[in-house]
């Protein structure tokens, strides 16, 4: 449907916006300093401002640029932006011909084919484009049943996003999937660093932005217009399923009601997975009144209101109270928002993660379990595990690692890059399940 809207809009027989080839045509070149571009040559997707020795006159922000090494060797093509520290976001590498419309169609089609291969048919709701990891820099597209939500975070890609969306719809249509509408959520603070005005609204005809999805057998109502990020945290899909499996095993073997505490519950996703698996007493905490109301609605939607309840609370204040009251749980889940969004704030974030995990461990029954995660780019996996070890020592607990997970495979990680680029681009979610026992 969206593809047809684009065609009508531009009175074309193919879903190409007028001027696409002109937008993709290189307007000039940038030349690297001698010895620079090491990350790019190792497989990276970015060129930073301090790596460039020269830029063609007339090259404007958002333009396609040829990227040359210091000796004139062509390294590829990318979108140029003088306002960003990431001066060029590469669209193609070691390819003599510049990208064109068919090139973009191929990239969009490849992104969809990848999801078909790795999601095992579980594509009712999933991420279909993940920026640099799909070689479409700065572009995120999430699918919620028959609705797409797009987040455009780079100026150059923003100029061709509607064409990429039309190509995606074209690829999905071949599999019988008809997209009824697309909503844009390009309102993240990073847009300002790219020289972009934040935008939010319909691309094409308006539609009901409350979309019902089913994930892991649980139904949710997702608000793609006002929900966090693009409406739902799709990256935790199989981590929620891991919790479901764990609770099912606990419930079958305990001979009593399993108690689960879900902290920072948001829409109640982990709590509901625990409830559907057989937990008899599940409590979800969140500081947002709206989130608690949504979580309660989702519990009712799945017939779980009797066993899964939610309460508005500041988790950082509530956990010490619960500990002093002697509360204990078979499973404690900690899914906090990112405690740091900058490298400079990492030290304070470590303190926050250490304290909240120490408090969480104290609420776990002897031999019970802790599921904990971090979605901060700057909290690396190694640093996160070190922080958890420190929290365990402070709580006089020992941790036995059960599972070590990351984001679902529709959020692929682009390797052959620097650690910074991999963490910043695509590898950010750390999810670990531990058995918690008393230190002897």
- Which residues are marked as active site? 375
Backbone φ/ψ region at 160: left (φ over 0), alpha (ψ -120 to 50), beta: alpha
For residues 360 and 432, is the Cβ–Cβ distance under 8 A?
no
Q: Round to whole Å and give the CA distance between 422 and 414.
A: 6
Helices and strands of the chain, counted as H and E runs: 14, 20
State the SS3 of 243-257.
HHHHHHHHHHHHCCC
Q: What is the distance between the alpha carbons of residues 319 and 313, in angstroms, rounded to a whole number?
A: 10
In angstroms, the CA 30 to CA 59 distance is 9
Q: What DSSP state is assigned to residue 90?
A: E
Burial of residue 56, with CB atoms counted within 10 A of its CB: 0-12 exposed, 13-18 middle, 19 or more buried: middle
- Which candidate, 244, 222, 240, places its Cα nearest to that of 231? 222
Kindly state the DSSP code that residue 117 receives in the 8-state scheme.
H
CB 391 within 8 A of CB 364: no
Q: How far apart are CA 437 and CA 316, in angstroms?
A: 23
Instruction: Compute the distance between CA of residue 41 and CA of residue 417 in angstroms, rounded to an integer.
Output: 9
Number of residues that make up the chain: 440
């Amino acid at each position: 449907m969206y593809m047809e809207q684009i065609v009508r809009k531009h009175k074309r027989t193919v879903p190409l916006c007028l001027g696409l080839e002109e937008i993709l045509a290189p307007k000039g070149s940038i030349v690297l300093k001698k010895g620079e571009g090491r990350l790019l040559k190792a497989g990276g997707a970015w060129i930073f401002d301090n790596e460039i020795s020269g830029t063609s006159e007339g090259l404007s922000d958002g333009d396609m640029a040829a990227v040359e090494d210091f000796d004139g060797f062509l390294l590829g093509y990318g979108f140029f932006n003088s306002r960003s520290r990431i001066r060029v976001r590469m669209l193609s590498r070691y390819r003599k011909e510049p990208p064109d419309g068919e090139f973009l169609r191929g990239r969009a089609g490849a992104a969809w084919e990848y999801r078909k291969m790795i999601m095992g048919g579980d594509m009712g709701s999933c991420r279909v484009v993940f920026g640099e990891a799909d070689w479409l820099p700065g572009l995120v597209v999430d699918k919620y049943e028959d609705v797409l939500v797009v987040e455009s975070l780079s100026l150059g890609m923003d100029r061709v996003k509607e064409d990429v969306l039309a190509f995606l719809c074209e690829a999905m249509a071949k599999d019988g999937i008809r997209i009824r509408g697309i909503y844009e959520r390009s309102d993240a603070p990073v847009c300002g660093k790219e020289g972009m005005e934040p935008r939010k609204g319909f691309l094409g005809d308006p539609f009901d932005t409350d979309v019902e999805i089913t994930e892991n057998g649980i139904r949710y109502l997702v608000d793609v217009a006002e929900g966090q990020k693009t409406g739902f945290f799709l990256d935790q899909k199989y981590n929620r399923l891991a919790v479901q499996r764990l609770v099912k095993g606990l419930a079958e073997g305990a001979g009593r009601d399993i108690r689960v505490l879900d902290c920072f519950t948001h829409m109640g996703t982990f709590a509901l997975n625990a409830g559907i698996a057989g937990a008899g007493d599940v409590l979800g905490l969140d500081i947002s009144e709206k989130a608690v109301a949504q979580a309660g609605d989702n519990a009712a939607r799945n017939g779980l209101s009797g066993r899964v309840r939610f309460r508005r609370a500041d988790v950082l204040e509530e956990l010490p109270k619960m500990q002093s009251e002697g509360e204990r749980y078979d499973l404690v889940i900690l899914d906090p928002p990112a405690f740091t969004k900058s490298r400079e704030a990492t030290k304070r974030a470590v303190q926050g993660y250490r304290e909240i995990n120490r408090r969480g461990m104290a609420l776990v029954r002897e031999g019970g379990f802790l599921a904990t995660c971090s979605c901060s780019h700057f909290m690396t996996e190694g640093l996160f595990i070190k922080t958890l070890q420190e929290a365990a020592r402070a709580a006089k607990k020992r941790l036995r690692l059960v599972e070590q997970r990351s984001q679902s495979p529709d959020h692929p990680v682009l390797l052959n890059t620097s650690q910074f680029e991999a963490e910043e681009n695509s590898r950010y979610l750390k999810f670990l399940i531990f058995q918690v026992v008393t230190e002897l």
